[in-house]
Amino acid sequence: MKRWLIVMVLFALALSGCVEKGPNAEEIKTLAIKSADNLSAYSLQSSVNQSLTLKGAANATSSNVTHIMESFETAAYVDLAAYKIQVVGSTKSQVEVPGEAANITSSQATIYQIGNSTYVKEDDGSWTHLLDPSPVETIWGAGTNNQVKALAESINQSSLEIVGSEKIDGQDCHKVRIETGASELYDIYNIAFSVAIKLVEYPPLVPSLNSTELNESSKIEKLVWISKDNYLIRKYQNLMSFKMTPILIGSLDPATGQMQRFNQSIRLGETDVSIETVDRFFDFNQPMKIAPPEEALKAPPRSPSPMPTATTA
C-alpha cells in the first residue's frame, strides 16, 4: 500500500511539472505594451465619481455638513488606423447644503477628431471647426491617441502583483494590483490642493494644507484587468480617498498680485474626499463608423494664431 502511495505522489509531481505556468507580473507588463502597440482601433467607457463631505466643525452633525458630488462620463471610439475619434461626454454636479434644496447642474459635450480637424459641438448646438496646420502623421504619431498603450506604459513604471483571475466582458483576465508609492502621494497632494482652491474660491483667499494629515489618511488602490489571450487591458480602476483640513494663510492683493499673509491663519472644517475612476476598453481592432454630422463639416475652419516671432535690432 505504501509503495502505491509513493508511486501516486511521484506521478502527481511529474504531472505538475508538465502544467504550463502563466506569465509573471514582469512578463505581463511587457506583453501588455506589445499588444497595445499593434492596435488599430478600440472603444472606451470612462467614469470618474468624486465625493466631498465638508464638515463645518470638529464634531459636525448632519445639520452642518455639506455634500458635493461630481461625476464625469465619457464614451470614446478611436480608429487609430483611419485617424478618427468620436468622444461623447457628460458631467453632473450636485451640491447639498443643510436647509436648502439640492443644486444640480449638468452639461454634455460632443467632439470629433478627423485627421488634423477637430469639431466641437457648442452649448447652443452650433459647431466649431479647429484646423491644426501640423501634418496628420505628426498629430497622430508616437501613439498620441492610443490610451491603451499609454496606460500599459504607465503600468510598466510600477511594481505589479497578480491577485487572481476574473472575467471582464466574457474574457478571462489576470487581475493585477498596482503597487503605489511616492508619486501617488504627490498626486494626492496636487488633487487636494486643487479641491482646496475651489472650496475657498482662490483668489483672493490663499489656502494651505497639512501634508502629514494627507499622508496619514490617504488610501489608494489601483487594479487592472489584462486579457489572458491577447494581453490587452480590459479594465482599470483607481480608488482614492483622503482627509484634509484647509487653512487660510493669506489673500491676494488685486493691485500687486502679491499674497498678503494673515497675522493668524484661519483653520476651516475637515473635508473627506473620495474619488473613483473606472476605464473599460473593448471593441479592439473592430471596424469603426465615425463621421461628424453635416452641420459640423460645414463649420468654417479656424486655425490657431501663429506664435509671435522674436526680432532682433
Q: Tell me: the pLDDT tens digits for 38-94?
A: 899 999 999 999 999 998 755 555 568 999 999 999 999 999 999 999 999 999 999
pLDDT level of residue 96 (50, 70, 90 thresholds):
very high
Mean of the per-residue pLDDT values for the chain? 89
Residue 302, all three cell numbers: 479656424
Domain assignment of residue 231, yes or no: yes
Residue 62, all three cell numbers: 448632519
pLDDT for position 99: 87
pLDDT level of residue 308 (50, 70, 90 thresholds):
low
Adjacency order of strands within the sheet including 205-208: 205-208, 247-252, 259-267
Domain that includes residue 165, residue range: 23-299
CB 144 within 8 A of CB 113: no
CB 76 within 8 A of CB 43: yes
pLDDT for position 62: 58
Domain assignment of residue 313, yes or no: no
Residue 213, CA distances (Å) to 32, 148, 218, 244 in order: 36, 34, 8, 6
What's the residue count for the chain? Answer: 313
Nearest to 292 by CA among 118, 81, 44: 118
pLDDT for position 61: 56
pLDDT for position 242: 97
Tens of pLDDT, residue by residue over 17-33, are: 444 468 999 999 999 99
Residue 188 belongs to what H/E stretch? helix 182-200
CB 217 within 8 A of CB 227: no
The pLDDT of residue 257 is above 50: yes
SS3 268: coil
Domain assignment of residue 309, yes or no: no
The pLDDT of residue 169 is above 70: yes
Domain assignment of residue 258, yes or no: yes
Domain assignment of residue 176, yes or no: yes
Q: What average pLDDT does this structure show over 167-195?
A: 93
pLDDT level of residue 306 (50, 70, 90 thresholds):
low
State the sign of the Cα–Cα–Cα–Cα dihedral 205, 209, 239, 34: positive
- Total domain count, the chain: 1
pLDDT for position 4: 46
The pLDDT of residue 277 is above 70: yes
Beta-strand relationship, 84-96 and 301-302: unpaired
pLDDT level of residue 294 (50, 70, 90 thresholds):
very high
pLDDT for position 307: 53
Q: Which residue has the cell 502563466?
A: 22
Beta-strand relationship, 171-178 and 219-227: antiparallel
Q: What average pLDDT does this structure show over 126-139?
A: 94
pTM for this one?
Answer: 0.85
CA 62, CA 51: separation in Å to the nearest integer?
16
Domain assignment of residue 273, yes or no: yes
Domain assignment of residue 17, yes or no: no
CA atoms within 13 A on the CB side of 181: 8
Domain assignment of residue 2, yes or no: no
pLDDT level of residue 16 (50, 70, 90 thresholds):
very low
Percent of the chain with pLDDT over 70: 88
Q: Is the model more confident about 189 or about 62? A: 189
Q: What average pLDDT does this structure show over 200-210?
A: 90
